[in-house]
Structure 1
Amino acid sequence: MLTIGLIAVIRLTGSDNGFVGNDDVVFLNETAHRATGDIPSEDTSQKREYVILDSNGNTLFDNRIDRSEVLTVETAIQRRYPYTYIKKNNQIIGSVILTDGEKRFDRLRTNIILIYVGCSLVLITAVLAFGAYIRKIVIIPFDKMKNFASYVAAGDLDKPLEMDKDNMFGAFSESFDIMREELKASKARELSLQKKERELVASLSHDLKTPVTGIKLTSELMAAVFSQNEGREFTVTPDMTAKMNNIYKRAEEINVLVSDLFSSTLEDLGEFKVNCTDENSAVIAEVVSKYDDRGLARLSDIPEVMIHIDKIRLSQVIGNILSNSYKYAGTPIDVRSHIEDEFLVVSIADSGQGVSDDELELITNKFYRGKNHGNKDGSGLGLYIARMLMDKMGGELTVSSPNGLCVTLLIPLS
C-alpha cells in the first residue's frame, strides 16, 4: 500500500500535469493588469520568470535566463505553464506566461515525496516496534507454553515453565507450572505405589515357593512309600497313582508360574541378578533331560565348547520353552545346535500349530498369549522371561514358525 501510494503521488504530481498555486494566479493577474498600461521594463531583481506576448504572439517582455526557446501560448498550453490573457476594453491584447512555476512545483513535489517517505519510515518503524512488542509479550510466551506442553506430553515433568517479569500471561503460565508440579507429584506417588505392589508380589511369590516345594517333596515321598510297601501293608490302585502324579504335576505348574512371576517382578524392580560363569556345553543336555519329563525331546549332538552362562537361569529358559511346547503342541521336540560366529546356536522346535506371522514379534512380550492358546492355563510370562534372561546373559532369543514353533537361543561362547 505504501508503494502504491508513493507511485500515485509521483504520477499525480508529474511535471506534465501542471500546477497553479494561489500566488501564481495573483502574480499573473497583477502582471496582466500592469501590462494594460506600459509594458514593464526588464528588472533583474525580479524573482519570477515570465513572458509577455502581444495578440500576434510577438514577445514584448521576456526575463527568462534561458531565452533560446521562442515561447507561444500554444507551447505554454502544451507544457501546462500557468498563463492568463491581457484584456483591455474587453479585447485580448496579449498574454502573460509564467515559466518558473515548473521549478517551484518540482520543489513542492520533492517535498511531498520526502514527507511521504519520512512518514512511511515512521510507519514502518512503528509497525516493526509493535511487531517486536507483540512477539515479546505474546508469541514468545506462547512458544514457551507450546514447548512446555510437548515436554509434559512426553512425560518430562522436571523442566519448569519459565516466566518473564512483564509477561501479560503470567497468571496463565503460573497455572500451567502448578499443573506440572501436581502431575510430577502424582507421578511420584504412582511410581511409589507401583514399587510397593511389585515388592508385595515378589514377597508373596517368594513365600509361595516354600509350600509348593513342600507339596512336591511330599508327593514324591508318598509315591516312594507306595512303591516300597505295595502288596505288603496296603494295595496301591492305579487311581491312587494317577492322583499322586496329578498332585506332583499341579505343584510343578504352580512352581513354574510362581517362579516366572517372581522373576518378572524382580526385573520390574531392577533387582534381577544374573551371574554368568564358564560352563561346558554338555550342561545343555543335562538341562533338557531334567525338564523333559515326558520324554518328547530328541536331542542331537552338541558341539563341545565352553559357554558363558548362568546355569540356573539357562535352566529356567529351557524349562519354560519345553513347558510351553508341552502345553500348546504336545508333539516331539527336536533340539539341534551348531556354532555360528561367537555363539552356540540352539534351536528347540516342535510340530504343533505354531503361530501366525503377525504374532511372532508379540509372543515374547510380557503377558501376551497367542490366539491359539485355547482354554489352557498360562500367564503369558514364559517366553518373556526366557527372552529377558537371554538378553541379560549376553545372548539372544528369537522365534519362528516354519512348521510348528521354533525357539532359537544364541548362547555366547566363553
Structure 2
Amino acid sequence: MNIKKIMTVIILALLISLSITFLAFRETPQSRLDMVDVNDISQTLAEQWDHLKTIDLPGSKYHMDYIVADNKGKMLRATRRGLNETINSAIQNRDTIVDITRSNQVLGKLIIYNNTNRLWKKYHDSQFGFFVVMVIFLSLLCISYALYLNRRVFRPFCKLQVFAQNVAQGKLDIPLEMDQDNLFGAFTESFDIMREELAKARENERLANQSKKELVASLSHDIKTPVASIEAVSEIMIIKSDNEETKRQLGVIYSKADQINTLITNMFNATLEELQELSVTITEFSSLELNNMIKNSDYNCRVNLSLIPECIVLADKLRLMQVIDNIISNSYKYAGTSISFSASINSKYLEIKFKDYGSGVEAEEIPLLFNKFYQARNAKGKSGTGLGLYISKFLIKKMSGDIDCKNEEDGFAVAIRILIA
C-alpha cells in the first residue's frame, strides 16, 4: 500500500467523521406538545373529575408528565414525583397550563410538564460522548499515521542525512542501509550506487596521482645521473684546460649543469614529500661536524666560520646538509656577498645563523618565503622554483627543529634550531 492510498483513506475518514459530527449537532432535540393528546387528557379528567383521587390518571400512553390542580393552584394529582407543584414554579419552567372544563365550568388546571431541559441534558450527554469517541478515534488515527510517517519517511530521511554527511566527509566505504519495502527504495539504491561510483572515482584519481608522482620521481632520479656526469666531465676539462676562454665556457656549462641538478633535486624531493616517502633518519652526532657540512656547501668560500659550541645534536646528517646547502646557495644567488656564521646554545636547541649583507626581502613577504613555489620580488630575473625553503622547513620540522628568517639592519639572516640530545 503506497502513501497516496494511505493519504486518501485518512482524508476520507476525516471527512466522514466531520460530516457525522456536523449532522449530529445540527439535529437539535425538540419537545412539541400534541394538542389532540392534551385535549383527550383534559376531557377524560373533566369526565372523571368527581372520582379524581381514585382513578388512574390518563395519559400514560401519551408519554406526558403532568399534574392536576384545583382553581386555587393546589396540586390534586401528579403522574410522578418531582414535577412543578405550584403555578409559579410551572410558569418559571414554562410548563403548559390548560383549563379543565365541564359544561363551561372550569374545574381545575392541567399543567403539562415542560421536559425540554431534561431532553437537552440527555442530548448534550450523548453528543459529548460521541465527541469524545470521535476525538479518540481521530487521535489514534493521527498517532498511527505519525508512527507510519516516522517509520517510512522520517527515519529514511535521517539515514539519508547521515549518509550525505559521510559522503561529504569522504567516508565512501559506509553503505546506505534501507529496508527492502521502503518507499524510497529506488532513491536509496541510486544513492548507494553513487557512493560506490564516487569511491571508485576517488580511488582511480588517487592511483593516477600516485602514478604521476612516481613517474616524476623516477624521471627526476634518472635525469640526475647524466647531469652529474656532465658536471664531472666539465670540471675535469676546466682543470686540464690552459685556455682562459675555454675555461670560462666550460665554467658556464658546469654552472648550468649544477643549476639543472639543483632544480631536479628540488623537484624530486618535493615529489617524494607529497608521496610521504621523503625519509628522515635522526641520529646523534657531534655539533663539530657542522664545520665540514658548511665547508662542503660553501664552494666559493664566502662563509666566515666561527666557533661552534660542542654538544650532541639529534638530526639527519644528509637532510641537514641539504638544508645548509640550500641556505648558502640562496645567499650566493640573491645576495652575492660574504656570509657570516654564528652558533649558540638556546635552551634545548643549538641555534646556527647564516647572515649575508644583501638587500633582503620586503617585510610582508617574509612569512611567505616558506610556502611552496613562492618567490620573493627580488628573485625576478633569477632562476629558481620557490621550493628550496619550503623543503628545508619540511625537513627541519621532521627533525623536531625549526627554521626562520628575518631582515636585519645590514643584511638578511636565516636561523636554524637543531634539537640537542
Shorter-chain TM-score bucket reads 0.7 to 0.9
Aligned with 2:328 (options 292, 298, 322)? 322
Deviations 1:272-303 (CA, angstroms, capped at 9, x unpaired): 22222211112233323322344444545432
Instruction: Say whether residues 1:118 and 2:133 are aligned partners.
Output: yes
Alignment match, 1:385: 391
Secondary structure at the aligned position of 1:25 is classed as coil
Q: Name the aligned partner's letter for residue 96 of structure 2.
A: T
Aligned residue in 2 for 1:363: 369
Residue identity matched to 1:64: R
Query: 1:49–1:342: structure 2 CA closer, same or farther, 3 Å change rule?
Result: farther
Matched, 1:151 2:163: no
CA deviation profile, 1:24-48 (whole Å, cap 9, x unmatched): 43589845752455287698xx897
Report if the CA contact (8 A) 1:33-1:86 is conserved: no
1:320-359 correspondence runs (5 A): 320-350=326-356, 351-357=358-364
Q: Does 1:25 align with 2:32?
A: yes
Per the alignment, residue 273 of structure 1 pairs with 279
- Report the Cα offset of residue 382 of structure 1: 0.9
Percent identity (aligned): 34
**Does the CA-based 8 Å contact 1:346-1:408 persist in structure 2?**
yes
2:157 & 2:388 partners in 1: Cα distance?
50
The structure 2 residue matched to 1:225, chosen from 237, 240, 261, is 240
Q: What one-letter code is carried by the residue in structure 2 that aligns with 1:134?
A: L
Does 2:401 align with 1:395? yes
Q: 1:247 to 1:65 in 2, by over 3 A?
A: same
Question: Following the alignment from structure 2 to structure 1, what is the Cα–Cα distance between the partners of residues 159 and 214?
Answer: 40
Give the structure-1-normalised TM-score.
0.77
1:76 aligns with 2:93: yes
Q: Indicate the residue corresponding to 1:179 in structure 2.
A: 194
Structure 1 residue aligned with 2:252 = 246
Segment of structure 1 superposing worse, 268-277 or 162-171 = 268-277
Q: Which amino acid aligns with 1:72?
A: S
CA distance, structure 2, for counterparts of residue 29 and residue 406 of structure 1: 127
Paired position in structure 1 for 2:210? 195
Distance in 2 between the 1:49 and 1:349 partners?
Answer: 124
Give the TM-score normalised by structure 2.
Answer: 0.76
Name the amino acid aligned to 1:21: P
Partner of 2:297: 291
RMSD: 3.9
Structure 1 gaps of 5+ residues are: 3-8, 14-18, 78-82, 231-235
- The answer to whether 1:257 aligns with 2:281 is no
**Alignment partner for residue 34 of structure 1, among 41, 63, 80?**
41
Q: Which runs of 5+ in 2 are unaligned?
A: 1-13, 15-20
In structure 2, the CA distance between the partners of 1:222 and 1:341, relative to structure 1 (3 Å rule), is same
Q: Secondary structure at the match of 2:370?
A: coil
State yes or no: 1:311 paired with 2:311.
no
Shift of residue 312, structure 1, vs aligned partner: 0.9
Do the aligned partners of 2:343 and 2:351 also contact (CA within 8 Å) in 1? yes
Q: Secondary structure at the match of 1:369?
A: coil
Please list the CA deviations of residues 33-69 of structure 1 after superposition, one character each: whole Å capped at 9, or x if unmatched. Answer: 52455287698xx897655667876555554348799
1:132 matched to 2:158? The reply is: no
Q: Deviations over 1:74-117 (max 9, x none)?
A: 5225xxxxx33426799998563536654453343233222212
Secondary structure of 1:207's aligned partner: helix
